[in-house]
Amino acid sequence: MQRETVNKSVLLLVVLFISAIFLSMIRSFLMAIFLAGLFAAMVHPIYARLEHLFKGRRSLASLTTLLLVICFILLPLAGLMGIVTAQALKVGQAVTPWVQKQIAEPDAFFTFLKSLPYFDQIAPYRDLFIEKAGEMVGGISAFLIHSLSSGAKGTMTFLFSTFVLLYTMYFFLMDGYQLVNKILYYLPLEDADEQRLLQRFTSVARATLKGTAVIGVLQGGLAGLAFAVVGIPSPAFWGLIMILLSILPGIGTALVWVPAAVILAASGNAAKAVGLALFCGAVVGSMDNLLRPRLVGKDTQMHELLIFFGTLGGILMFGVVGFIIGPIIAALFITVWDIYGVSFASVLPGTGPRSAEDADATGAEARLPSAPSPAGPARETDDPPAAD
């Protein structure tokens, strides 16, 4: 028995050591592998129909599915990114002269500020404000130049990562279920718990992608259209920015349209500023409150606050794709603790106020005479002791 224990302990250490080395070796591809598995699960119904159509030829069905993904998702996104990049350059070229003009002629801007409350407390810092605005212009210019340079350098890396993702998806579509079953086999959990974790993972991922895509496109599209109506340059660029920011529940798009309304008002277009603020606040902002609980919260069965912190924390830890990973981790966190509560229910104490039946039962037990202790004195009675 001791020899068997030693053998298993050594084997476990070897497994952990080799697994750590392997994961460290492929760490640069882990995100692409994760996204490949996620997207393969999303488009698997299409693959299943194509497999049936091609009479069981899995490789042809998988390849056709990837071609559909490239034609209807990747190529339109690439075209959109090209348009947005061109408009981003226009924004960079337009913002700097505007800010420089406001610095050179700050009277118009400060005339607008006089209409705001607490202007008397801001006025003494006028020169400091102009100085910081000048520094901001230099920072914006440097940021745009650095971003474009980094984007050009990262093009090959992005293309290679995309190739890895598509190549991995090709095999995940054909052999994904066998791989998942193999992974679940090595987990020392009950089958019901494993299936619960897997179902939770897929449902949250599907709901997050579906809800975020629908809400983002609606909010960014309508807000971009409003920007075009009021005459803000490069509305497609700002619309895409708001689509990306819409992954932050409640506050995402407001990070763009609120400053835009303020700048419009400062430029003397008060009517356009009020119209933009009313439309974006009433229509664009309400979409998040109306659609997110139904598209995301309903399927994930998570509180909106947990979705918010899961999304924000995921983005801070994993980058842009964290808007998917964060809610998944939050959902698995809840599920694991639910499984823990069921598994250790026998040793976990009850909490919360007792029900009326429990209180009545406890009171009835208190009114019953207690049984004599084995070590206590004998009960006194009027009957004589029994004779031997």
pLDDT in tens, 293-321: 666 666 666 777 787 788 888 888 887 77
* Of 36, 324, 4, nearest in space to 172 by CA: 36
Supply the pTM of this predicted model. Answer: 0.64
Residue-level pLDDT at 242: 83
Segments of the chain scoring below 50 in pLDDT: 362, 364-388
CA-to-CA distance for 294 and 307, rounded, in angstroms? 13
Q: Taking the CB of residue 328, how many other CB atoms lie within 10 A of it?
A: 22
Question: Cα separation of 177 and 186, whole Å?
Answer: 15
pLDDT > 70 fraction of the chain, expressed in percent and rounded:
67
Contacts within 8 Å (CB) and 24+ apart, 11-14: none
At 246 the pLDDT is 78
Write down the pLDDT at residue 96: 57
And the tokens for 176? Answer: 């994904």
Burial of 22 (0-12, 13-18, 19+ CB in 10 A): exposed
Token match 């497994």: residue? Answer: 15
**Neighbouring residues of 335: CB distance < 8 A, sequence distance ≥ 6:** 196, 197, 200
Query: Can you read off the two tokens belonging to residue 374?
Result: 């084995």
Single-letter code of the amino acid located at 381: T
Handedness of CA 139, 140, 144, 150 (dihedral sign): positive
What is the chain's length? 388
d(CA 165, CA 33) in angstroms, rounded, equals 6
Contact criterion met (CB below 8 Å) for 134 and 96: no
pLDDT of residue 170: 93
Say what the pLDDT of residue 282 is.
82
Q: How many CA atoms lie within 13 A of 113 on its CB side?
A: 16
How confident is the model at residue 61, as a pLDDT? 92
Half-sphere exposure of 35 (CA within 13 A, CB side): 18
pLDDT, position 381:
45
Tell me, what's the pLDDT at 380?
44
Sign, CA dihedral 372-374-378-384, equals positive
How many CB atoms are closer than 10 A to CB 348? 11
Nearest Cα neighbor of 279 from 340, 221, 341 is: 221
- Yes or no: say if 223 and 257 are a contact pair by the CB < 8 Å rule: yes
